[in-house]
């Protein structure tokens, strides 16, 4: 039996395919353009994207168009959904929520569009919890309460090899990117109020990643949490960071190691790692 409340998210949430299928989570793909060729991000191999970025090829990203949400919402209604919760990447990073709201305005069925103020598996864990709650038969208010509780307690810590890709995409200023490059500093960033901010720096990848793990562990505190490491062409680095973080937090479930969304990778660049901490 389908739940009364349908859950829709976007591809930056990094919900594993098998979990999305099991929990009836509908995932709308953001769009990635490489050298003038546009596709849903799932159609662009990470290796191909990394090669393009290293070669200086023009890469850009875009929110899904409103019709992509319209058809997902239509499918949910046709399958019996009485209400829809549509939760997405921070509006400070993407216009995805704007597209979702445009589509929602076309429906009589209530669609609750939620700006998560985050992305990656901090968003993904909240989406999975909301879907589990909906699957148990909860009403929309309970689903939204669970969703907001998870989102409010989540954090993302981002290691990047260089700030150049974030500069190109307009996520940071050129002066900040130049300083990091000139001093060979590896930045560690976080999301505050939906905006990427620099937390600290380290000389070399190893030191910077240690600082990223330190920050993620501090955000977890003594809570039982879910953790994850996502990477863009840096699996060994992400695995080592996740193993280090595992030993410093109270785990609620088995941690997740995953490739990050190609959309996120297009901004953070090859070699980047995202550590997510989310309340249980």
Within 110-139, residue ranges assigned H as helices are: 120-135
For domain 5-29+64-152, give the CATH number: 3.40.50.10170
Least confident of 2-6, 86-90, 176-180: 176-180
CA gap 162, 107 in Å, rounded: 43
Note the pLDDT of residue 219: 96
Note the pLDDT of residue 170: 53
pLDDT tens digits, 5-57 = 999 999 999 999 999 999 999 999 999 999 999 999 999 999 999 999 999 99
- C-beta of residue 94 within 8 angstroms of C-beta of residue 30: yes
Q: Which two tokens stand for residue 264?
A: 């996120």
173 or 274, higher pLDDT: 274
Note the pLDDT of residue 173: 46
* Average pLDDT of the residues in 83-105: 97
Of all residues in the chain, the percent with pLDDT exceeding 90 is: 83
Note the pLDDT of residue 175: 37
Any idea which residue has 């609620």 for tokens?
A: 252
What does DSSP assign to residue 13?
G
Note the pLDDT of residue 169: 54
CA gap 183, 261 in Å, rounded: 29
- Which of the four pLDDT bands, split at 50, 70 and 90, describes residue 69? very high
DSSP-derived 3-state class of residue 155: strand
CA gap 223, 243 in Å, rounded: 18
pLDDT tens digits, 164-196 = 767 665 555 443 444 445 456 788 999 888 888
Is pLDDT of 73 > 80? Answer: yes
Note the pLDDT of residue 187: 87
The CATH 3.40.50.10170 portion of the chain extends over 5-29+64-152
- C-beta of residue 197 within 8 angstroms of C-beta of residue 93: no
The CATH 3.30.1180.10 portion of the chain extends over 155-279
- Which of the four pLDDT bands, split at 50, 70 and 90, describes residue 162? confident
Check: pTM over 0.85? Answer yes or no: yes
Note the pLDDT of residue 184: 66
Phi, psi (rounded to 5 degrees) for 113: -90, 125
- CATH 3.30.1180.10 holds for 155-279: yes
- Work out the mean pLDDT of the chain and round it to a whole number: 92
pLDDT tens digits, 121-161 = 999 999 999 999 999 999 999 999 999 999 999 999 999 98
């Amino acid at each position: 039996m389908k739940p009364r409340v349908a859950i829709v998210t976007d591809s930056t949430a990094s919900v594993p395919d098998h979990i999305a299928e099991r929990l009836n989570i509908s995932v709308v793909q953001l769009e990635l353009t490489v050298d003038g060729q546009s596709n849903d991000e799932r159609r662009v191999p990470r290796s191909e994207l990394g090669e393009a970025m290293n070669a200086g090829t023009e890469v850009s990203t875009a929110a899904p168009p409103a019709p992509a949400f319209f058809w997902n919402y239509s499918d949910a209604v046709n399958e019996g959904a009485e209400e829809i919760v549509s939760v997405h990447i921070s509006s400070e990073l993407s216009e995805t929520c704007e597209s979702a709201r445009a589509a929602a305005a076309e429906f009589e069925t209530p669609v609750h569009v939620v700006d998560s103020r985050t992305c990656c598996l901090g968003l993904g864990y909240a989406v999975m919890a909301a879907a589990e709650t909906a699957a148990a038969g909860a009403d929309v208010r309970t689903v939204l309460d669970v969703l907001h509780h998870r989102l409010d307690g989540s954090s993302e810590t981002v290691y990047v090899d260089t700030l150049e890709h974030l500069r190109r995409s307009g996520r940071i200023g050129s002066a900040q990117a130049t300083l990091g490059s000139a001093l060979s500093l590896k930045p560690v960033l976080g999301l505050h109020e939906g905006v990427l901010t620099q937390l600290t720096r380290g000389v070399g990848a190893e030191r910077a990643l240690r600082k990223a793990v330190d920050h993620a562990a501090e955000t977890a505190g003594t809570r039982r949490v879910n953790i994850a490491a996502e990477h863009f062409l840096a699996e060994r680095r992400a695995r080592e960071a996740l193993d280090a973080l595992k030993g410093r937090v109270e785990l609620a479930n088995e941690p997740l190691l995953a490739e990050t969304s190609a959309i996120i990778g297009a901004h953070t660049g090859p070699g980047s790692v995202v550590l997510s901490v989310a309340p249980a």
